[in-house]
Amino acid sequence: MKSLNIGLVGYGFMGRTHSNAYRKVNNFFDLDYKPVLKAVCARDAGKAAAFARKWGWESVESDWRKLLARDDIDLIDIASPNDTHAPIAIAAAKAGKMVLCEKPLAMTGAEGRTMVQAIEKARVPNMVWYNYRRVPAVTLAKELIDEGRLGRIFHYRAKFLQDWTISPELPQGGAGLWRLDVKVAGSGVTGDLLAHCIDTAVWLNGGIQTVNAMTETFVKKRKHNLTGAIQKVGIDDACAFLARFDNGSLATFESTRYARGHKALYTFEINGENASIAWDLHDLHRLQYFDHRDEGRVRGWRSIHVTDGDQPYMKHWWVPGLQIGYEHTFVHQVADFIQGLSSGAPASPTFRDALETQYVCDAVLQSAKTQKWQPVKRP
Amino acid sequence: MKSLNIGLVGYGFMGRTHSNAYRKVNNFFDLDYKPVLKAVCARDAGKAAAFARKWGWESVESDWRKLLARDDIDLIDIASPNDTHAPIAIAAAKAGKMVLCEKPLAMTGAEGRTMVQAIEKARVPNMVWYNYRRVPAVTLAKELIDEGRLGRIFHYRAKFLQDWTISPELPQGGAGLWRLDVKVAGSGVTGDLLAHCIDTAVWLNGGIQTVNAMTETFVKKRKHNLTGAIQKVGIDDACAFLARFDNGSLATFESTRYARGHKALYTFEINGENASIAWDLHDLHRLQYFDHRDEGRVRGWRSIHVTDGDQPYMKHWWVPGLQIGYEHTFVHQVADFIQGLSSGAPASPTFRDALETQYVCDAVLQSAKTQKWQPVKRP
Amino acid sequence: MKSLNIGLVGYGFMGRTHSNAYRKVNNFFDLDYKPVLKAVCARDAGKAAAFARKWGWESVESDWRKLLARDDIDLIDIASPNDTHAPIAIAAAKAGKMVLCEKPLAMTGAEGRTMVQAIEKARVPNMVWYNYRRVPAVTLAKELIDEGRLGRIFHYRAKFLQDWTISPELPQGGAGLWRLDVKVAGSGVTGDLLAHCIDTAVWLNGGIQTVNAMTETFVKKRKHNLTGAIQKVGIDDACAFLARFDNGSLATFESTRYARGHKALYTFEINGENASIAWDLHDLHRLQYFDHRDEGRVRGWRSIHVTDGDQPYMKHWWVPGLQIGYEHTFVHQVADFIQGLSSGAPASPTFRDALETQYVCDAVLQSAKTQKWQPVKRP
Amino acid sequence: MKSLNIGLVGYGFMGRTHSNAYRKVNNFFDLDYKPVLKAVCARDAGKAAAFARKWGWESVESDWRKLLARDDIDLIDIASPNDTHAPIAIAAAKAGKMVLCEKPLAMTGAEGRTMVQAIEKARVPNMVWYNYRRVPAVTLAKELIDEGRLGRIFHYRAKFLQDWTISPELPQGGAGLWRLDVKVAGSGVTGDLLAHCIDTAVWLNGGIQTVNAMTETFVKKRKHNLTGAIQKVGIDDACAFLARFDNGSLATFESTRYARGHKALYTFEINGENASIAWDLHDLHRLQYFDHRDEGRVRGWRSIHVTDGDQPYMKHWWVPGLQIGYEHTFVHQVADFIQGLSSGAPASPTFRDALETQYVCDAVLQSAKTQKWQPVKRP
């Protein structure tokens, strides 16, 4: 088994999910490569060191440029805030490193395009962490659609509902709260949550042609977490949009952080001529499936408990009936990335795949501004 | 359309469900007979008169013997407390009336047997109101089982859980509370609630051979509702039993009025070699169905919304997706009774059918007393 | 008890629901008036007569003008297709009759306005059959919102999903299929299904300011049911729209008849600062309620089984745990209408109330055409 | 951080869950000890070596006696079949090792008692892997009960339903199938599945006084997996029993491997005077909670998504809304064991705690044989 030396940038929530994935993947998957936790990098060297001790990273860097310069690093994994993705990814590509990048790929489509160009010029293996593609139930949905079971698609609908920013007392910006700071995050729910919905949708249902969006910022001013200054809130607290896909289907998308009672309720449903599929992150191990070809009297939505060996990824885990959770999607993504290295067929979504979501987000945010339908532009 | 002149005894909860059924049945079903609300009978003539006005009963009697003596009555419907079933039913049979009787048929198996003998000697049409057989989802379950879809049956489990008698302040006996008075009710949850579970079970899964029960009375003394006297509670508050069916399957049954959070949660589940079925009174319009012959990857419990025209009884009601409720089971039972009159194939359960449940209840109560397995005796 | 003599126009699906309501209401509610099924009117006298026999209507008319001319009729109930609502309602008002009208009130807002003017000029009691307001769970939602439990409202979302027109072989027009004929129905899902969603939304959450819609007709041509001619389909098969309410909340609405697996899935959810509510027509007896003020560790969506005596309308029916169904909403509406007659406080929605939905539908259809945000105009 | 050197016996399903727990625990919990994967032991040295490579065990033994003799081992973890628990545990205790043992503790109560005696004589830290106590939702249930929220308890009911042995073609015995071989497993569903139910029940609801059981073996003969010989099946395929607890509550327990449609459906429900709790392994991250003290109109079962930081164990994992799975219960158990080492308050269930379940299982199996109520004997 060959080593795959990882250099991780960032030690937050995503730094943890990635570290866990690298540590677990070879225990459950037979692979040609074994990720080695070579170095973690963060501006605060003390925090990086504590994180390294906790997770077994062999060394610490406090400047990502130094990390990129190290010969013992094969792969740069970017798990730092959105505004750092482009510079690190482009430099890493130039340094000939493989690059994994947290989602969303970029702050804008234009920025994302420069990243894709750099990555493709360097011809380095690359992937973006749209982890929900690898929930077994979601992967199963993809298989069912690709097998043509749904027939012509009429409708797609997705939501990502949270409720953690309702309090006007919640500050914005700084550690742990950068997602509320538009300068760091680029946007609010659109880039954070709808990006997930769009990535899945495009993967399952093909390209989006045109969108029509509205956004809202319910709490207009918040204190900054570090400076204490009261500042205008620049992000979108909520965003909903209508869309039309290339295949003629209609869609509604919605995301908010003001939906009381929902912590991370990502749901999607797709209605086809012959069958429909629905899924929900709060019970991620289940897929709802309705097949109109079932005999009429006993037709009903099937609640599929996706824990059997013949369902995606599940033969690697425990026994039927015993569910896995959120973290496992990252393990699957590492496993698939490594299998892509071996096979030469890159795991999706690549940077190029993820750029599509960026273009849709751009159209969504522009539509919210212009109050008009916007085509998705792919310059 | 011929008239079917009804004489109803009792004006309580069941008096209402039956009156409603008689009034509605011809609006929804094409039948040869039309029930006519001829007379309602109750000891309290004033209350009977008020009830008659509310429901359109043409006349009132305060002595059921007089009701039986009337020539203009074709059918006696017994909806009065359990201890009145036998005398009225036997006398009605002797008078040559058709007899419908609320469940449970009798106070004991022995009493029930005398009723069956009288009814069968008189050869009068008869039926017992085990209404849950005619929930469309339950009838559908019966059809699926009769079609052999489940294969060999391994398990049956049923529960009927309520929580309305938890308070020790609740009085027993008298109007509205006779179900707590053992002299009137015969038993507690066994005759009231488990009788439903047993009737369905025997109908769906065949005869019960042997049972092993425990009962409990949690509140030992209660005030009598009318006299105010503190008296020993004679009924079973809770009863659970193990059973073995003739077909070799194993069963658990349980009923209580002390299950906080459940109002009338009658549930059953049946597990066969090839398929399983589950149902729940709190969502009575749904049937859960699992078919192992479905393709493995997309196998799951189907939540069947039983509101389509090809599902039992539903073509008579509204349109797909629109649910009916509790009261409709009584309408179906009247419709089936009348169709039985026309066709000569009596609607079930007849008195004889319902006697079986009585025998099982006897064995259950005896087992609770002897603390031993008891065969179901059919003398 | 006074008589309230009803003259019903139409004998289809809605003719049945109304007839049932009139027949049942006095059995369950203590009221000052008793509806009398005086006459049913339809162009086909034979079918009207058969309907009258089935439901107990005393007489039959084949011209609604004659019905309106009868002195023994107090109230005209319009249950005929949408294009007949205006002429009948206006003439009935002029004749001094009370008027009940099926939803949607009119073909357009302009037409609806003339109806309201006629009704208000005549000062006759009036009501529109937006029956879902009177599902007990929905009425409970209204109470909770009016009590201020939700706090500031952020989001409203509603859907009405069906799947009965997916087959291109389904004809349009004529008996039973007039809802597919744009000349008779006025529009497709917008007037038929979204009208329900809008009525509830406006009732629960106040006025809608502005909308942005898309519509689609998936099957472009269908055979006419009667003539056999292949004709362009004029209705909207699907419609989704974004909206902003007067109270600052954001909304998404969607309806389609192409959502495989859903028969009549009307759902709504409303998210407030402190609490959220959700409801679903396929399990109409349940209300989902999340209250953030519950203690954190044991906070969760409550599945409220709305069958208790202290919940709206339920004391009139059976006992806790036993559900009612779709038809009961019409009974409640008749009961409330009659109580409004007694009290002088008219039951909602009046014609004027229902006109609001008409205006929103107009804006929705116009937005779909112009592809722009449209304010809701109330001329 | 001190090292805790682990010697693991067994490399099957449980060998994997334990290995994973040791590897993960320090990434998520701040502890004084770090488990070191020192040696794995199995008769088949080749398979043990492969397992060691996969999981990072430093060395391999093929005789557990040798493992016990090693000075560099602090703790013996027994994850081998049931018939090996006693000899290894007793020897390990004598060797002064800490001992963790998979459930069920022993083949019989008598055997278990000798193990407890040896362990307690040696005064070594010890624990049995009844992992379901540490599902966060189950731990939350325990907290709610201990806080007295339920009031007097009336009912307990538990089931553990599977369907993997329905086919008569399934062989018994040998690798992976020893659970069907009575000589190795001791019993069927009683020791394997009901043991879990009993452990949770005793933990949540106190001691069981008396039981009344029935068992069944549906498939009477099976081929042996290794020898090919057709042999009598000695295990119980299904077992159901009634029970009475010390606190006066009544219980039903049931387990089977013939419940089509259920893979590993462990459920329990407990009904108290004031509140009820229900849980289900197929959706293990949810707790159902009904509190009668909630206001009547909005009372309902709360579906608690147990993923918040103030709920048991969850602050160590991801963010609210993101679920963990089955494997995490083992991580929790290791964390608690280590915290017990630090604090001196041993983590439960100790061998002594787990012996109680053994005594109940004995009474259950004896009752099935004698067909009588059996007191739980604690010699």
Over the stretch B235-293, which tens digit does the pLDDT of each residue have? 999 999 999 999 999 999 999 999 999 999 999 999 999 999 999 999 999 999 999 99
Instruction: Verify whether the Cβ–Cβ distance A325 to D322 is below 8 Å.
Output: yes
Give the residue carrying structure tokens 């229900």.
D278
List CB contacts of B352: < 8 A, sequence separation 6 or more: B116, B120
Q: Does A304 sit within 8 Å of B310, measured CB to CB? A: no
- Judged by DSSP in three states, A82 sits in helix
- How high is the pLDDT of residue C135? 98
The answer to whether the CB atoms of A252 and C254 lie below 8 A apart is yes
| Chain-chain contact of D305 with A328 (C-beta, under 8 angstroms) | no
Place of tokens 């990824």: A313
pLDDT in tens, C42-85: 999 999 999 999 999 999 999 999 999 999 999 999 999 999 99
Which residue shows structure tokens 């507690």?
Answer: B188
Closest chain A residue by Cα to residue B293:
A294
* Structure tokens belonging to residue A267: 């749901």
Q: Give the list of residues 6+ apart from residue D146 with CB closer than 8 angstroms, or none.
A: none
Measuring CA to CA, which residue among B368, B374, B326 is closest to residue B187?
B368
Q: Where is C270: in which H helix or E strand? A: strand C265-272
- B13/C319 touch (CB, cutoff 8 Å), yes or no: yes
Q: Residue D8's pLDDT is what?
A: 98
CA distance D232 to chain B (A): 19
- Whether residues B271 and D258 touch (CB distance < 8 A) is answered with yes
pLDDT at C174 exceeding the cut of 90: no
Contacts of D303 in chain B (CB under 8 A): none
Query: What does each of the 379 residues of chain A score in pLDDT, given as a tens digit?
Result: 899 999 999 999 999 999 999 999 999 999 999 999 999 999 999 999 999 999 999 999 999 999 999 999 999 999 999 999 999 999 999 999 999 999 999 999 999 999 999 999 999 999 999 999 999 999 999 999 999 999 999 999 999 999 999 999 999 988 779 999 999 999 999 999 999 999 999 999 999 999 999 999 999 999 998 899 999 999 999 999 999 999 999 999 999 999 999 999 999 999 999 999 999 999 999 999 999 999 999 999 999 999 999 999 999 999 999 999 999 999 999 999 999 999 999 999 999 999 999 999 999 999 999 999 999 999 8
Nearest residue in C to B53, CA atom = C27
Q: What percent of chain C has pLDDT over 90?
A: 97
Cβ neighbors of C136 (< 8 A, separation 6 or more) are C285, C306, C307, C311, C312, C313, C314, C324, C332
B183: left (phi over 0), alpha (psi -120 to 50) or beta: alpha
End-to-end, the C-alpha distance of chain D in Å comes to: 42
Query: Where does the pLDDT of residue C268 fall: very low under 50, low under 70, confident under 90, or very high at 90 and above?
Result: very high
**Which of C26, C305, C317 faces B282 most closely, judged by CB atoms?**
C305
CA-based nearest residue in chain D for residue A308: D263
pLDDT tens over chain D, length 379 residues: 899 999 999 999 999 999 999 999 999 999 999 999 999 999 999 999 999 999 999 999 999 999 999 999 999 999 999 999 999 999 999 999 999 999 999 999 999 999 999 999 999 999 999 999 999 999 999 999 999 999 999 999 999 999 999 999 999 988 779 999 999 999 999 999 999 999 999 999 999 999 999 999 999 999 998 899 999 999 999 999 999 999 999 999 999 999 999 999 999 999 999 999 999 999 999 999 999 999 999 999 999 999 999 999 999 999 999 999 999 999 999 999 999 999 999 999 999 999 999 999 999 999 999 999 999 999 8
- Determine, for residues B261 and D244 on separate chains, whether the beta-carbon distance falls below 8 Å: no
D151, D293 contact by CB (below 8 A): no
Sign of CA dihedral A328, A330, A333, A334: negative
Burial of residue B149 (number of CB atoms within 10 Å: 0-12, 13-18, 19+) = middle
For B149, nearest residue in chain A (alpha carbons): A298
**What digits encode the pLDDT tens for the residues B112-138?**
999 999 999 999 999 999 999 999 999
**CB-defined contacts B:C, below 8 A:** 102
Closest residue in D to C302 (Cα–Cα) = D302
Q: Which among D369, B214, D365, C159 is positioned nearest to D377, based on CA atoms?
A: D365
Of C250, C254, C373, the CB nearest to A238: C250
Chain A residues with CB within 8 Å of chain B CB: 140, 143-144, 287, 289, 291, 294, 296-305, 308, 310-311
Q: Which tokens go with A20?
A: 């866990």
Q: Helix A13-28 and helix D45-55: axis angle, to 10°?
A: 160
| Calpha distance C253→C266 (Å, rounded) | 11
Binary contact (D24, A24; C-beta < 8 A): yes
Name A347's Cβ contacts closer than 8 Å, sequence gap at least 6: A127, A333, A336, A337, A339, A340
**Which of A90, A133, A86 lies closest to A105, judged by CA?**
A86
Q: Which residue has the tokens 């969760």?
A: C300
* Cross-chain Cβ contact D260/B252 below 8 Å: no
A379 by DSSP, 3-state: which? coil
The shortest CB-CB distance from D300 to any of C296, C298, C303 is to: C303
> How does pLDDT run across A261-280, given as a tens digit for each residue?
999 999 999 999 999 999 99
**Cβ-Cβ contacts under 8 Å, A165 against chain C:** none
pLDDT of residue B337 exceeding 90, the answer is yes
From first CA to last CA, the distance across chain A in angstroms is 42
Angstroms from A294 CA to nearest CA on chain C: 11
CB–CB of B31/B25 below 8 Å?
A: yes
Q: Distance between CA D373 and CA D379 in Å, rounded?
A: 18
In D, what residues contact A, Cβ < 8 A?
Answer: 13, 16-17, 19-20, 23-24, 26-27, 54-56, 162, 164, 262-265, 281-286, 305, 307-308, 317-328
Chains A & B: contacts with CB separation below 8 Å: 52
In 3D space, the residue among D103, D128, D134, D145 whose CA is nearest the CA of residue D284 turns out to be D134
Q: What angle do CA C108, C112, C117 make, to 5 degrees?
A: 155
Nearest in space to A275 (alpha carbons), one of B313, B274, B294, B143: B294
How far is D195 from D356, CA to CA, in rounded Å? 10
Quick check: D263 and A326 CB within 8 A? no
Q: How far is it, in rounded angstroms, from Cα C145 to Cα C276?
A: 10
Residue of C nearest to A301 (CA): C261
pLDDT at B16: 98
Q: Which residue's structure tokens are 């907290």?
A: D143
Within 13 Å and on the Cβ side, how many CA atoms surround C30?
3
User: The whole model's pTM is what?
Assistant: 0.98
Please check the confidence at residue C175 and state whether its pLDDT lies above 80.
no
Q: Under an 8 A CB cutoff, do D271 and B290 touch? A: no
What confidence score (pLDDT) does residue C176 get?
78
Contact check, Cβ <8 Å, C302/D298? yes
Mutation target among A53, A263, A310 for the D interface, most CBs of D within 10 A: A263
Q: Which one of B37, B163, B323 makes the best mutation probe of the C interface by having the most chain C beta carbons within 10 Å? A: B323
Q: Which chain D residues contact residue A281 at CB under 8 A?
A: 321-322
The reply to whether residue D292 touches residue B260, judged by beta carbons under 8 angstroms, is yes
A256 and C290: CB-CB below 8 Å?
no
| Residues of chain A contacting C216 with CB distance shorter than 8 Å | 250
Which residues of chain C have a CB within 8 Å of the CB of A260?
150, 154, 271-276, 290, 292
pLDDT value, residue D226: 87
Pairing mode, if any, of strands D208-216 and C374-375?
unpaired
Closest chain A C-alpha to D266 CA, distance in angstroms:
10
Bridge partners of D41, per DSSP, are: D9, D61
Residue of D nearest to A24 (CA): D20
CA distance C238 to chain D (A): 33
pLDDT digits (tens, 9 = 90+) for A77-120: 999 999 999 999 999 999 999 999 999 999 999 999 999 999 99
One-letter identity of residue C282: H
Q: C370 CA to chain B: closest CA distance, Å?
A: 34
Q: Do the Cβ atoms of A304 and B304 come within 8 Å? A: no
* Chain C contact set for A161 (CB, 8 A): 271
The per-residue pLDDT for D93 is: 98
Q: What's the gap in Å between the CA of A318 and the closest CA on chain D?
A: 7
Preferred mutation among A258, A265, A276 to probe C, highest tally of C CBs within 10 A = A258
All residues of chain B having their beta carbon less than 8 Å from the beta carbon of residue A296 are: 308, 310
Distance CA C16, CA C171 (A): 24
How many CA atoms, within 13 angstroms, populate the side-chain half-sphere of residue B91?
16
| Chain C neighbors of A157, CB-CB under 8 A | 254
Query: Cα-flanking dihedrals φ and ψ of residue D168, to 5°?
Result: -70, -10
C155:A372 CB<8 A: no
Contacts of B among chains (3+ CB pairs under 8 A): A, C, D
Cβ <8 Å between C302 and D305: no
- Please give the C-alpha separations between residue D95 and each of C247, D68, D88, D200, in angstroms, as whole numbers: 74, 7, 10, 31
Q: Among C216, C240, C373, whose Cβ lies nearest the Cβ of A371? A: C373
CB contact under 8 A, A300 and B302: yes
Provide the CA B12 distance to its chain's centre, in angstroms: 15
